[in-house]
Amino acid sequence: MKSLMTSLHEYIEMRRSFGYQLKETEQNLKKFITYLKKKGCQYITVQLAVEWAILPKNVKRAYWSRRLCFVRLFAQYRMAEDPRTEVPLPHLLSQQPNRAIPYIYSDKEIQQLLGACQLLLSLGLRHHTYFTFFGLMAVTGCRISELISLNRDDLDVKNNWIIIRNSKCNKSRLLPLHQTTIQQLKKYSKIRDQFPVHDINAFFLSDRGTRITKWSARFAFIRISKQIGLRSHFDSYGPRIHDIRHAFAVKTLLNWYRQGININKKIMLLSTYLGHKKPTDTYWYITGTPELLAQATTLLEKNTGE
């Protein structure tokens, strides 16, 4: 019988062949297998799976649920090799879709965020980097990881687009940009190229000339969000970077509703632009945002005559 670790390698390789990246899944399942070994157990049990899932303290229940989901899917795969395997039921730890309610930034708040970037401590490049970085996120709805991974040759000023490469499920896409956005990216490129560079491929650079990271971007975001009052100086939670992406999607949908555009005909366009795996991920914004839900309800009542 194959070991759990061997099965895990095969499981990850199999799922990656379908386009999944699974970095977090692999890291967590390796930790789970290590936990089983410490408990002297050679197969997956529901009891140990739940014990492991709830090990982190002071976290949201949804995080426990996510950890248990990693185990559940792997256990389903492992059953073919080891019939002793127990698969945790879906309802354990309230495994239901539990998305956080997004914070929808107003246009004024986005402008304040960008303005606060100019106040970041910088050796000359950092404040330019984050002004352009957060600005690009606001007008494209890109994920933070997508913009961090952006390379210089991903900007095509001739065709007015950027290329997002190998995002979720290893998919790539072209994002057409407004001419004003292209002008800002060109302006930033000229400023960036005046500083020493250690990563010649990266588009967005730190003061040290290296590619910025998720952690540095989040740290900068927290600093500027506190400066403009979106968070107090003692808040550990508050509006997130990812909510900039939510705001872009919601505002796009709201504008379409207000213009009387048929959402069902346009949703695939937005879904593709955002890099969603399926349109239902985009439709969630309608039910996940009160104003959008109200717009959808009003339109439905109008169409049905009720």
Is there a catalytic annotation at residue 143?
Answer: yes
Q: Which of 127, 143, 231, 246 is catalytic?
A: 143
Q: Where are the beta strands (DSSP E) in the chain?
A: 155-156, 161-164, 173-176
Is there a catalytic annotation at residue 168?
Answer: yes
Q: Which of 168, 171, 173, 208 is catalytic?
A: 168
Which of 245, 166, 149 is CA-nearest to residue 204?
149
Q: Which of 127, 245, 246, 251 is catalytic?
A: 245
Is there a catalytic annotation at residue 192?
Answer: no
Phi first, then psi: give them for residue 193, nearest 5 degrees. -75, -5
Is there a catalytic annotation at residue 9?
Answer: no
Long-range contact set of residues 134-139: C-beta below 8 Å, sequence gap at least 24: 134/221, 134/241, 134/244, 135/181, 135/184, 136/181, 136/184, 136/185, 137/241, 137/244, 137/245, 137/248, 138/105, 138/110, 138/114, 138/244, 138/247, 138/248, 139/177, 139/178, 139/181, 139/248
Q: Which residues are catalytic?
A: 143, 168, 242, 245, 276, 285
